[in-house]
Amino acid sequence: MRTIFVFAHFLALLLVLCALHSTAQDAAYVKKYGNLLSVKSFLYNNEFSFRNHSSGLSYVPDLHTGIGVGVWCKYFPFDICYRQELSPAIGVEKNYKRIRSVDMQLRGYNRFFAGDIYIQRYSGFYESIENRYHVKSSELADLTYNPDIKVSLFDMVGKYIFNNEEFSYKAGFTAGERQLISCGSATVGAALYYLRIRSDSLLLKKQSCDLRSCNLGVNGGYAYNYVFGRHSTLFASGMIGLNASTSIFKGWVSDKIHLSPVFHLKGAYWLNYNKWSFGITTTYNIIHHSLGDEITVYVHTRRTEVVVMRRLWVKQKERTISPAQ
């Protein structure tokens, strides 16, 4: 509870910074679309894995590839998406063990802030002796399967955009706006991470293993939109943070604090027109969690999407009547 309280105060400080920088955004740098609604369809590939540093073993679920549709409303801060995972590759179905999973991301981007909330739950993992995170579907049958492993994550990352008069984070990663002139901005923010791993005998040599970790940290980085040609925008964002990680056992918080770095990388390419946008986006996160004195878990997540977006329902400006009329 104290961790969430501190995090809320940090967000309040960012809101104060937002109020102090209330000048209008430069229309020569950022174009705002007048559409009330945007719909999109996309192909996606999600990759998730975690590595137990003490044992050297890596754990991966199956590769999650599928299709989805999404809706974004001008007056609603988050995207709403529905995803449908595709069937496994033909030829490995007899060895395929369906893994239940929840992989959600909420994005809230405006002029001053960029916020992401990740909610992930996986049940059942393949055990990889080698430190590798790209496992093909045809290789899954050769790996040891652990149906008892259950992993839950909740990550909340927010950052303040300093150069908010000329730079648009929304234009770079979601094409909700359009960057007209190449520009970048430094960012600073805070993050909250929660990890829970349950297993019969995964990390500790005892039954009913239930390990939990909570991280709170600050981060800083830089984001840039490179505009070239008449319609193309290339976006890149890098962020590094320092987290204070503590373990939670049976409702009690450990008195030992472990400091660890985290990394967040994003990239996108957009081909923008007035009504249509075509693009590809990718995210890559590395987060360290301490689960006790002898256990450190490295969580790797990747997400890539190929997106087709259509903007609808343009809000018409009121027609002005000249004195001559």
Chain segment 295-317, per-residue pLDDT in tens: 788 888 888 999 999 999 876 55
CB 79 within 8 A of CB 106: yes
Chain segment 228-250, per-residue pLDDT in tens: 988 999 999 999 999 887 776 55
Rounded-to-integer distance, Cα 307 and Cα 280, Å: 6
- Domain-wise residue ranges, the chain: 2-22+43-314
Query: What pLDDT does residue 285 have?
Result: 92
Rounded-to-integer distance, Cα 95 and Cα 86, Å: 16
Q: What percent of the chain has pLDDT over 90?
A: 33
For the ranges 25-39, 71-85, 131-145, 218-232, the one whose mean pLDDT is highest: 218-232
Query: What pLDDT does residue 250 have?
Result: 55
Fold of 2-22+43-314: Lipocalin (2.40.128)
Choose between 125 and 183: higher pLDDT.
Answer: 183
Phi, psi of 319 (to 5 degrees): -80, 130
Query: What pLDDT does residue 130 have?
Result: 59
3-state SS assignment for residue 174: coil
Chain segment 246-283, per-residue pLDDT in tens: 776 555 556 677 888 899 999 999 999 989 999 999 99
Residues 6+ away with beta carbon under 8 Å from 284 = 263, 264, 265, 266, 300, 301, 302
Choose between 126 and 155: higher pLDDT.
Answer: 155
Choose between 179 and 127: higher pLDDT.
Answer: 179
Query: What pLDDT does residue 318 have?
Result: 39
Chain segment 199-218, per-residue pLDDT in tens: 876 555 445 577 888 888 89
Structure tokens at 90: 């033909």
pLDDT classification of 65: cutoffs 50, 70, 90: confident
Average pLDDT, the chain: 79
CB 185 within 8 A of CB 161: yes
Query: What pLDDT does residue 304 have?
Result: 93
Query: What pLDDT does residue 292 have?
Result: 65
Phi, psi of 95 (to 5 degrees): -100, 0
Query: What pLDDT does residue 139 have?
Result: 64
In the predicted structure, residue 35 carries a pLDDT above the cut 80: yes
| 188 burial level (CB within 10 Å; 0-12, 13-18, 19+) | middle
Query: What pLDDT does residue 277 have?
Result: 95
Strand runs (DSSP E) across 62-133, as ranges?
64-73, 80-85, 100-109, 113-128
